[in-house]
A and B are shown apart, each in its own frame.
Chain A
Amino acid sequence: MTALSKNRRLSGSRPASLLAQLVTGRTKNRHLMGWLLASPLALVLLVFLVLPIVMIVIVSFWGATEFSIYPAFQWDNYQFLLTSPVTYKVFLNTFKYAVLTWAFTLTIGFTVAYFLAFHVRSLTWQIALFLLCTIPFWTSNIIRMISWIPFLGRNGIANSTLMSMGVIDEPLDWLLYSDFSVILAFVHLYTLFMVVPIFNTMMRIDRSLIEAAYDSGATGWQTLTNVIIPLCKPGIMIGSIFVVTLVMGDFITVRFMSGSQSANVGRLISNDIGLLQYPSAAATAVILLITVLMVIGILLRFVDIRKEL
């Protein structure tokens, strides 16, 4: 923008100058180039992100019979959704999972990242340990989740170990098919999404700042709360956005780990799809999308990621 106005001024002061024409021409070219360079991504996003979302919004107003959907403009889907007490209960449950998972992944993720960034001194070890964290991600999400089931079951490893140690007399039923197992699986699955961005911001903290804090007589805790955490905010925010959106959009973890006994919004949508109620599923998806965007909006009020990065 500033370049353009400068050029304008230039061409204004020497109207007939060949040079000026050349310069403006080049600027135009540069503009064109910019648009061209941005267009592949814009096109991809348009076709694979914007269009499907528009489609979902449109379908959410359609009507459905048991085996077909028909174009219409009606508020029935939203009316049913927003007046059903089940919807509120399920959304509340979804938030509960999101908040608990967020709290645990943040605590664990921050601790792991802190250890990697500040306690491990050599870069080689840092990289080696970081890669170690990613090893579980070499197998599929579902396998990592399902492997908890035999571990936590009534006759599973956890219960039989505790019983042989004499800690408990009866197997603990709440270990599996409960909110506990759902949160456990979520934390297991998504902690790395917290570790990576926090570790990344920690590594970019100028070490002399910490030395300065130390020299000024700050205790370790004061350094942590006044220097490190504020500087890690962008990483924490990015990690939080990852975790919150992943948990709020999930349906399979909740289904398997709760033994289908609990529901979240994702399961409502998947049930509707299974029963061919696409418009109703689309309406739920739209409401979920709005909710998640609102949550992210609130998160972004705390940190200006654009500025901090």
Chain B
Amino acid sequence: MTEATKTGLSRRSLLKGAAAGVAASAFPAPMIWAQNIKDVTLRQFGTGVSNINEVAQKVKEDLGFTLEMTALDSDAVTQRAATQPKSFDIADIEYWICKKVWPTGNLQGMDVSKIRNYDKIVGIFKDGKLTPDSTIAQGTSPNSVGFTDGPDGTRFADQETGWMTLIPTIYNADTLGIRPDLIGRPIDSWAELLNPEFKGKASLLDISAIGIMDAAMVCEAMGEITYGNKGNMTRDEIDRTLAIMTEAKKAGQFRAFWKTFDESVNLMASGEVVIQSMWSPAITAVKSRGIPCVYQPLKEGYRAWGGGIGLSKNLSGLELDAAYEYINWYLDGWVGGFLMRQGYYSAVPETSKNYMTENEWGYWFEGKPATEVITNPYGDAMAQPGETRDGGSFEERMGHIACWNAVMDENQYMVRKWNEFIAA
């Protein structure tokens, strides 16, 4: 392990040397830049998933400057990005949050010519297609809010323009989590969430923007409602979806609703709930307690989400250069490997491969059976030899996205209706 790190570091320094060479020709005073960058402090905030202290430490080691991280929940992140532009340099937000926040003009467009690995970024974030013949899923797909007209653009562009709103960092395909030991039969549809068999043992997440999507996946799978676009429902569709959910709630289908990651883990681990909306690392957390838990692939497909980092409008000069350097480093593979070993995907998977063992790459990305024990970055065992990842390979999982997390045009109406559902 230490061997691997060492070679990683030396390759890294080689890369850095090359980068410095490029930088020397691009920037007028590279020496001053190299000296001053140590004093730079970039303030990043975002949701807990990617605001990890290990990343900040590694930035200090590799790039020399200081990265201060603040982790908040997604509501607070939206609020801060929209209302306190001076309080951050780098915003680590999700694409649906970007749709809300970008029109405030608090973020600046990013010049893709300064992003070294831009060409290697997965198609989902550029033209929206994983492979040339895949269709774009419903909802706020990253490509629809990923580009703008220029550094000061406040509108989204329909195609690649050379100016990105967010540089994609991590993304994943979400589905329902189940306790196979307590259910004892195969589960293959979202409709099972409202199956009376699981009365008082189901749960849904109480974050309106995401919860409504899971609810829509369920209603569609039950054949009750056919949506024009689940990511942008009409008032009528919202009413009908929540009517079905309210009826189920009154009938005692749900044990609880959860709002934080920990709550979902506890509900599942304690056996209060056997089927519920869940996030990938929560499954990991339940499993690491020795309790069987499966991130069940369902025939209707996944609900996907993606995050990216955006630059504050207030960044300029040396700080802006440091931020670009940080982004390039982010896409360079170390962070990708770190995150992929927790079950997320990196925007430039091929660079992460350099920082993962063949076994890890095979298990997490290619969906192959593990050849030896798979551990997460903190050393907890995640899978035994012979096990394969729930849902299979990258193409298989990301190729079956039914819907992206979204902000609807009728968002305010939906939120009010959602609150009524919770209070019902």
| B53 within 8 A of partner (CB) | no
B82, B255, B419, B423: which has the most chain A beta carbons within 10 Å?
B423
- Cβ of A68 and Cβ of B256 under 8 Å apart? no
Stretch at the interface among A18-26, A38-46, A271-279, A300-308: A271-279
A86, A149, A258, A267: which has the most chain B beta carbons within 10 Å?
A86
Q: Known interface pairs A68-B83, A154-B270, A276-B78. Does A260 touch B100 (Cβ–Cβ under 8 Å)?
A: no
A258 proximity list for chain B (CB < 8 A)? 256
Tell me which residues from 113 to 159 in chain A have a Cβ below 8 Å from any Cβ of chain B.
149-150, 153-156
- Cβ of A154 and Cβ of B82 under 8 Å apart? no
B103 proximity list for chain A (CB < 8 A)? 67
| A90 within 8 A of partner (CB) | yes
| B208 within 8 A of partner (CB) | yes
Partner of B256, one of A90, A177, A263: A177
Complexed CA–CA distance, A260 and B259 (Å): 8
- Cβ of B419 and Cβ of A86 under 8 Å apart? yes
| A173 within 8 A of partner (CB) | yes
B203 proximity list for chain A (CB < 8 A)? 259
A55 to chain B, nearest CB (A): 16
- Cβ of B423 and Cβ of A89 under 8 Å apart? yes
B200 proximity list for chain A (CB < 8 A)? 173
Partner of A260, one of B206, B411, B424: B206
- Cβ of B272 and Cβ of A153 under 8 Å apart? yes
- Cβ of A261 and Cβ of B254 under 8 Å apart? yes
- Cβ of B270 and Cβ of A274 under 8 Å apart? no
Complexed CA–CA distance, A177 and B272 (Å): 10
A67, A176, A258: which has the most chain B beta carbons within 10 Å?
A67
Partner of B101, one of A67, A89, A261, A262: A67
- Cβ of A275 and Cβ of B208 under 8 Å apart? yes
Complexed CA–CA distance, A263 and B416 (Å): 14
Complexed CA–CA distance, A66 and B104 (Å): 11
Contact pattern, B 245-260, Cβ under 8 Å of A = 1, otherwise 0: 0000100001111110
| A268 within 8 A of partner (CB) | yes
- Cβ of A67 and Cβ of B419 under 8 Å apart? no
Contact pattern, B 409-424, Cβ under 8 Å of A = 1, otherwise 0: 0011001100110111
- Cβ of A260 and Cβ of B419 under 8 Å apart? no
A66 to chain B, nearest CB (A): 6
B270 proximity list for chain A (CB < 8 A)? 150, 153-156
Complexed CA–CA distance, A67 and B78 (Å): 8
Partner of A275, one of B104, B249, B415: B415
- Cβ of A260 and Cβ of B258 under 8 Å apart? yes
- Cβ of A176 and Cβ of B259 under 8 Å apart? no
| B75 within 8 A of partner (CB) | yes
- Cβ of A154 and Cβ of B271 under 8 Å apart? yes
Complexed CA–CA distance, A259 and B254 (Å): 9
B414 to chain A, nearest CB (A): 10
Say what secondary structure dominates the interface of chain A.
loop
Complexed CA–CA distance, A93 and B100 (Å): 34
A89, A153, A262: which has the most chain B beta carbons within 10 Å?
A153
A263 proximity list for chain B (CB < 8 A)? 419, 422-423
B367 to chain A, nearest CB (A): 34
B101 proximity list for chain A (CB < 8 A)? 67
- Cβ of B82 and Cβ of A67 under 8 Å apart? yes
| B134 within 8 A of partner (CB) | no
Complexed CA–CA distance, A5 and B82 (Å): 61
Contact pattern, B 70-92, Cβ under 8 Å of A = 1, otherwise 0: 00000110110011000000000
- Cβ of B423 and Cβ of A86 under 8 Å apart? yes
A90 proximity list for chain B (CB < 8 A)? 423
- Cβ of A86 and Cβ of B82 under 8 Å apart? no
B79 proximity list for chain A (CB < 8 A)? 67, 276
- Cβ of A176 and Cβ of B78 under 8 Å apart? no
Partner of B100, one of A66, A84, A267: A66
- Cβ of A66 and Cβ of B258 under 8 Å apart? no
Complexed CA–CA distance, A277 and B78 (Å): 12
B411 proximity list for chain A (CB < 8 A)? 66
Partner of A259, one of B256, B407, B424: B256
B256 to chain A, nearest CB (A): 2
Tell me which residues from 83 to 119 in chain B have a Cβ below 8 Å from any Cβ of chain A.
83, 100-101, 103-104
Complexed CA–CA distance, A229 and B407 (Å): 58
Q: Known interface pairs A66-B411, A68-B83, A150-B270. Does A275 touch B423 (Cβ–Cβ under 8 Å)?
A: no
A89 proximity list for chain B (CB < 8 A)? 423
A259 proximity list for chain B (CB < 8 A)? 203, 254-258, 267
Complexed CA–CA distance, A153 and B255 (Å): 11
Q: Known interface pairs A90-B423, A177-B255, A177-B256. Does A68 touch B104 (Cβ–Cβ under 8 Å)?
A: yes
Partner of B420, one of A86, A93, A277: A86
Partner of B419, one of A155, A173, A261, A268: A268
B260 to chain A, nearest CB (A): 10
Complexed CA–CA distance, A90 and B421 (Å): 12
A68 proximity list for chain B (CB < 8 A)? 82-83, 104
Q: Known interface pairs A176-B272, A275-B75. Does A66 touch B412 (Cβ–Cβ under 8 Å)?
A: yes
Complexed CA–CA distance, A177 and B266 (Å): 13
Complexed CA–CA distance, A149 and B206 (Å): 19
Complexed CA–CA distance, A137 and B422 (Å): 31
Contact pattern, B 385-417, Cβ under 8 Å of A = 1, otherwise 0: 000000000000000000000010001100110
Nearest residue (CB) in B for A93 is: B423
Nearest residue (CB) in A for B76 is: A274
A68, A156, A274, A276: which has the most chain B beta carbons within 10 Å?
A274
A positions within 8 Å CB-CB of B = 66-68, 80, 84, 86, 89-90, 93, 149-150, 153-156, 173, 176-177, 255, 258-263, 267-268, 271, 274-277
Cβ contacts A to B, 30 pairs, < 8 Å? A66-B407, A66-B411, A67-B82, A67-B103, A67-B104, A68-B82, A86-B419, A86-B424, A149-B266, A150-B270, A153-B270, A153-B272, A176-B272, A259-B254, A259-B255, A259-B256, A260-B206, A260-B256, A261-B257, A261-B422, A262-B423, A263-B423, A267-B422, A271-B422, A274-B75, A274-B76, A276-B75, A276-B78, A276-B79, A276-B83
Give 20 new A-B contacts, CB below 8 A, not counting A154-B272, A260-B422, A271-B422: A67-B100, A67-B104, A68-B83, A68-B104, A84-B416, A153-B272, A154-B271, A177-B255, A177-B272, A259-B254, A259-B257, A260-B206, A260-B257, A261-B254, A262-B423, A263-B419, A275-B75, A275-B415, A276-B75, A276-B83
Shortest 3 CB-CB distances between A and B: which pairs?
Answer: A259-B256, A67-B82, A263-B423
